[in-house]
């Protein structure tokens, strides 16, 4: 933008000598093009900030998920869920937290003791969408146990379903914000360099015109030949 602004300044300074027959090279059109780019750059900034805000909000919404899932597991056990149902619930919990099932190690003359397997860093980088889906399945598992009737609002089926909706909504808002940011960047790239009438192509045409009317060895052309827009 700074380079294009300089180019417009030189063209304006040439006065009546700068009089291209091509409409898109007129000073007024150049200024309008500059303003369009300025607006789309502002849009890119705004959509990026909005995307970052939604990412941070989602992180906060998911922050207490392992603790909440663990409470559901304990409640299921306290309310007498079957071993099969507990196995399913623990599987969803491990998926949410990224933990591997414990591996037993047998020692001579002793009982088998479970030893937790180490957790790799990559396992902890779970997709938020997957986490929401696994938590929803954990909630469905709890809802199918008739004895699951906690008095705590956050552990009730209604409260858990509300949390599921919140998690899915957070994921959707992040996705929408990412799309908006991406679309703004595409629009920016088109206006600056990817279209036939982009700022970069217009600048080249202006410089070619100045070289044609003043000569490529002239002082006037020397003022603008070093202006690079890319």
Rounded to whole angstroms, the Cα distance separating 68 from 156 reads 11
- Which pLDDT does position 126 carry in this prediction? 54
151 contacts: CB under 8 Å, gap ≥ 6:
none
Digit-coded pLDDT (tens) for 5-55 = 999 999 999 988 999 999 999 999 999 999 999 999 999 999 999 999 999
Least confident of 125-129, 182-186, 225-229: 125-129
Sequence spans of domains, the chain = 2-60+191-224, 63-179
pTM for this structure? 0.78
Rounded to whole angstroms, the Cα distance separating 227 from 28 reads 20
Rounded to whole angstroms, the Cα distance separating 98 from 121 reads 9
Digit-coded pLDDT (tens) for 79-109 = 999 999 999 999 999 999 886 554 443 444 4
């Amino acid at each position: 933008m700074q380079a294009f602004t300089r180019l417009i300044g030189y063209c304006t300074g040439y006065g009546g000598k700068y009089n291209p027959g091509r409409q898109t090279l007129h000073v007024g059109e150049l200024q309008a093009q500059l303003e369009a780019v300025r607006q789309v750059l502002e849009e890119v900034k705004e959509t990026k900030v909005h995307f970052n805000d939604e990412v941070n909000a989602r992180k906060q919404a998911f922050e207490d998920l392992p603790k909440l899932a663990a409470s559901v597991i304990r409640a299921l056990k306290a309310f007498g869920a079957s071993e099969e149902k507990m196995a399913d619930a623990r599987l969803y919990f491990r998926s949410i937290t990224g933990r591997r099932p414990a591996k037993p190690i047998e020692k001579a003359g002793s009982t088998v003791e479970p030893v937790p397997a180490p957790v790799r860093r990559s396992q902890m980088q779970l997709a938020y969408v997957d986490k929401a889906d696994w938590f929803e399945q954990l909630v469905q598992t709890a809802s199918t146990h008739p004895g699951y009737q906690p008095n705590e609002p956050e552990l009730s089926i209604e409260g858990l379903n509300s949390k599921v909706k919140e998690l899915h909504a957070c994921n959707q808002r992040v996705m929408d914000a990412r799309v908006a940011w991406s679309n703004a960047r595409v629009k920016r790239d088109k206006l600056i360099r990817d279209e036939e009438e982009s700022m970069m192509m217009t600048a080249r045409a202006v410089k070619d015109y100045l070289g044609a009317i003043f000569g490529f060895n002239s002082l006037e052309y020397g003022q603008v030949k070093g202006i690079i827009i890319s």
